[in-house]
Amino acid sequence: MIDFSLGEDLALVAETAQRFSDEQLLPSQRDFEARRAVADAVLREARDIGFDRIDWPEASGGAGMGAVARALVLERLAAGCPGAAIALQPLGSVAHALLAFGGDAALRRCAAPLDAPGLRAVLVFDHRDAWQGDADTLTGSAPWLPADRVDLLAVLSRTGLKIVTRGIRVTPVPGAGLRAAGAGEIRVDRVPVDAAWTDPAAAALALAHARVHLSALIVGQMHAAAEYSRKYALERVAFGRPIAHHQALAFLIVDMHSAVDAARQLLHEAAWRLDAAQPATAAAATALVEAAENAVFIGSNAVQILGGAGFMRDYPVEKHMRELRALGLLLGGADAARDDALGDALSDAPLAPFSFLAAGALGA
């Protein structure tokens, strides 16, 4: 028999993240967006709980609970406010990039200077080889990233990783989404490289982790958009009955929730593969493609279900749409991920089955 339950430990993690999201993020999401920052008290509480280190190895000061636990946490935090969810992770996906290339020593060395509240590390995926330099210097720019300050910049390519901490120029920009994490143009010009590695296998692993993290943020915000518009449609009455009971809208609501479930299924498959040390490059890429493309469908239709009210700040769906579009641009978006997913699909090897279902449960 297949058991779809999370298991006691993962269920507790999910419950804790959900409660934190409901109590600390959801009620204050507009305030965070206006301030372009999360309140210090919220940052401290999240740090004390340990959300940002839930999947770090125990040797590195983490809980060692794995990628599935991180995905569950990010889904629930993003349902409250995805920009805040990003801000609550000082190292974010940079941590797993450091672990993949330099192990525990690299993570500890780079994490220590970012121990003070408010400091941020940012990961950039150089999928177009636009960042230039040699072993000692780095030059490049990103027109927008969800950050108003960057204390450590990690530039990940398909073959290696470079870390810089000096000479990072951040110019604030308006930003349409994820404002709770900030919005800035990032530039470096022949800045010194603090650390550099070349290892295609490590790069693939780091990118898989980053894509799982991003997919979890998207899935969480998609769920929030689909669920809010569903509840609105059940309360809004037209022609004598709730608009959700009209067939065309009912079908749309079902399609939206099906899209969320499909993206979540692929996300959990990719996270399980990472925990099981199985090939995860294509699974993580496919999860991101599905999430990013469904995000466009769900975000715009959540607004449409509310009609003209959907564009007003009195309701959260206009924010959901902006956040989902912005999330879909990170790590090269669906186009960069599609390259990896397509490469697996066109190879001679058979496509991998949903192995975690065969294992019996996510926690197996």
Model confidence at 350: pLDDT above 80: no
User: Does 233 fall in a domain?
Assistant: yes
* Whole-structure pTM value: 0.93
Residue 225 sits in a domain whose CATH number is: 1.20.140.10
- What is the per-residue pLDDT for 363? 45
The string of pLDDT tens digits covering residues 282-340 is: 999 999 999 999 999 999 999 999 999 889 989 999 999 999 999 999 999 999 999 88
The string of pLDDT tens digits covering residues 137-148 is: 999 999 999 999
The string of pLDDT tens digits covering residues 81-90 is: 999 999 999 9
The string of pLDDT tens digits covering residues 118-139 is: 889 999 999 999 999 888 999 9
- What is the per-residue pLDDT for 4? 63
Range of the domain at 299: 201-359
Name the percent of the chain lying above pLDDT 90: 79
User: Does 108 fall in a domain?
Assistant: no
Number of folded domains that form the chain = 1
- Mean pLDDT over 262-291 rounds to 96
Question: Could you tell me the pLDDT band of residue 161, with boundaries at 50, 70 and 90?
Answer: very high
User: Does 301 fall in a domain?
Assistant: yes
User: Does 213 fall in a domain?
Assistant: yes
Mean pLDDT of the chain: 91
User: Does 22 fall in a domain?
Assistant: no
Question: Could you tell me the pLDDT band of residue 353, with boundaries at 50, 70 and 90?
Answer: low
**Three-state SS letters, the chain:** CCCCCCCHHHHHHHHHHHHHHHHHHHHHHHHHHHHCCCCHHHHHHHHHHCHHHCCCCHHHCCCCCHHHHHHHHHHHHHHHCHHHHHHCCCCCCHHHHHHHHHHHHHHHHHHHHHCCCCCCEEEEECCCCCCEECCCEEEEEEEEECCCCCCEEEEECCCEEEEECCCCEEEECCCCCCHHHCCEEEEEEEEECCEEEECHHHHHHHHHHHHHHHHHHHHHHHHHHHHHHHHHHHHCEECCEEHHHCHHHHHHHHHHHHHHHHHHHHHHHHHHHHHCCCCCHHHHHHHHHHHHHHHHHHHHHHHHHHHHHHHCCCCCHHHHHHHHHHHCCHHHHHHHHHHHHHHHHCCCCCCCCCHHHHHCCCCC
User: Does 33 fall in a domain?
Assistant: no
User: Does 157 fall in a domain?
Assistant: no
User: Does 14 fall in a domain?
Assistant: no
